[in-house]
Amino acid sequence: MTIQEISTANVTSCSPDTDLAAVAKIMWDCDCGAVPVVTEDRKLVGMITDRDICIAAATRATVPADIRVRDVMSTKVHACRPQDDVRTVMKTMKDHRVRRVPIVDAQQRLAGIVSVNDLVAHAEYRKDAEVPGDLFIDTMKAICAHQTAAVAV
């Protein structure tokens, strides 16, 4: 099964110049926790998450409407192609501990997104499953594993 078969194709995105309040509204309206960041010609340049917004809003001496996406987005994005196999994308998620992977075409333009929600909806425990349950659980364990705990003093 290709990732395109289970992904979300009509993805709302933002630009690097979008403010954090506007991105939070996109997340609220679209019921999502991450938004791809694209250029005018839809080339993927980053991702912004609800966590990015919360940390920026809590640690900067200004309101979210005055903070631009470009200042807090992740630019190291692990994307995939529409024709990639589901197992390959789950390996990317597992190796890089990401819950969402944008899908790009040959010109690096945003073509969709796949999330753990998409995977769980198709995961099954049977021998010939398109999204094998055991592989999905291994992926989730890797994504959710605690990193070295910080010590509060």
- Domains with residue ranges and CATH for the chain: 3-144 (3.10.580.10)
Convert the pLDDT of each residue in 122-131 to its tens digit. 888 888 888 8
| 140 contacts 74 by C-beta, under 8 angstroms | no
Q: Is the pLDDT of residue 147 over 80?
A: no
pLDDT of residue 27: 97
pLDDT of residue 67: 97
Average pLDDT, the chain: 93
Model-level pTM?
A: 0.88
pLDDT of residue 149: 60
| Mean pLDDT across 111-137 | 90
* Separation of alpha carbons 89 and 91, rounded Å: 5
* Separation of alpha carbons 67 and 129, rounded Å: 44
Most confident among 23-27, 123-127, 146-150 (mean pLDDT): 23-27
